[in-house]
């Protein structure tokens, strides 16, 4: 799996039973047991049998997606999978940092627990929402947001798909303005917070304290930030992650940057629940092979490739 880019999903990729296919792998079961011990409650039960109502609570969702993603990566790594670069979408950056060795899984759990609670508290104190704008140029969406107070671009997901975030009234007004400028669709998202905007300033402060209490290591893999569009130094990571809560996720631009590098990835794997990033990558880079791992069959396909690569390397 030389030249591999591994991508970790964020909040919104959760689904009922998302860990069921992982249970046949001992290392995945061990990962859920480790997380449950750190958190003091059974996260494996939530990820296997929890309802969507339970899984969409911000304070639980983030921990669930993180744990499923790390468990999936450990299954792949145990089979011989390697990578050149790891990146994540928002929350997914914590999974990427665990995979690269910059952050221990235990510390990631503790930080993400604070992150989820702090974001939930901010959303309750200052309600907000988000909406996806489909079929309009990024610059046009930016112009719409610049003309309306309390709404910002939060995610550049793929060409023609941008997410806006802010107060409910402002997001509604911006959606209407985007439609009048030619957007094909404006889709309200089922969230109660204005994530990746200045509305999250209080959460960023709480998160900064939590990040200051954990150790970031040099790691053995390359981490690429999708808010900074670069590879941060290890010492920068606490600041980068705190700033991330109030900054737009520039996933489109980050992937385009990586693919223009001299040693560009030759393929990508989405590591964790769902296939959201797989779909985005197919719109960003149509010629790049991309594979999800969010269900049993998808994971088996990627595992077969990892095992083949490992055995081929050993035979040389």
Q: Residues with catalytic annotation?
A: 90, 196
What angle, rounded to 10 degrees, do the helices at 105-125 and 58-78 form?
160
Token digits for 129? 């929402």
Tell me how many degrees the CA angle 21-25-27 measures, rounded to the nearest 5: 125
Residue with tokens 């030389």: 2
Distances (CA, A) of 29 to 33, 79, 81: 6, 15, 19
Q: Which residues of 264-302 are buried (b: 16+ CB within 10 A; e: fewer)?
A: ebeebbbbbbbbbbbbbbeebbeebebbbbbbeebbeeb
Answer yes or no: are the C-beta atoms of 260 and 281 closer than 8 Å.
Answer: no
């Amino acid at each position: 799996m030389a030249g591999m880019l591994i991508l970790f999903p964020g909040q919104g990729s959760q689904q009922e039973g998302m860990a069921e296919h992982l249970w046949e792998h001992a290392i995945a079961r061990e990962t859920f047991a480790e997380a449950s011990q750190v958190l003091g409650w059974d996260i494996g039960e939530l990820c296997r049998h929890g309802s969507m109502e339970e899984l969409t609570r911000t304070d639980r969702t983030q921990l669930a997606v993180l744990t499923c993603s790390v468990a999936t990566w450990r299954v792949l790594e145990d089979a011989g999978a390697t990578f050149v670069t790891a990146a994540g979408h928002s929350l997914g950056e914590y999974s990427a940092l665990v995979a690269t060795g910059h952050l221990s899984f235990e510390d990631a759990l503790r930080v993400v627990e604070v992150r989820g609670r702090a974001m939930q508290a901010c959303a309750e104190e200052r309600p907000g929402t988000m909406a996806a704008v489909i079929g309009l140029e990024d610059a046009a969406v930016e112009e719409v947001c610049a003309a309306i107070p309390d709404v910002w671009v939060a995610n550049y997901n793929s060409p023609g798909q941008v997410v806006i975030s802010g107060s409910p009234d402002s997001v509604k007004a911006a959606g209407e303005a985007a439609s009048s400028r030619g957007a094909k669709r404006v889709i309200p998202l089922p969230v109660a917070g204005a994530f990746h905007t200045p509305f999250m300033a209080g959460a960023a402060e709480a998160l900064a304290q939590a990040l200051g209490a954990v150790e970031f290591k040099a790691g053995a893999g390359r981490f690429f930030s999708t808010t900074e569009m670069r590879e941060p130094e290890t010492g920068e990571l606490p600041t980068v992650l705190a700033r991330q809560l109030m900054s737009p996720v520039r996933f489109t631009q980050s992937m385009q940057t990586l693919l223009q590098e001299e040693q560009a990835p030759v393929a990508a794997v989405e590591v964790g629940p769902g296939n959201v990033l797989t779909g985005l990558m197919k719109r960003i880079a149509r010629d790049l092979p991309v594979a999800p791992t969010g269900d049993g069959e998808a994971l088996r396909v990627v595992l077969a490739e990892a095992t083949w690569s490992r055995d081929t390397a050993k035979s040389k």
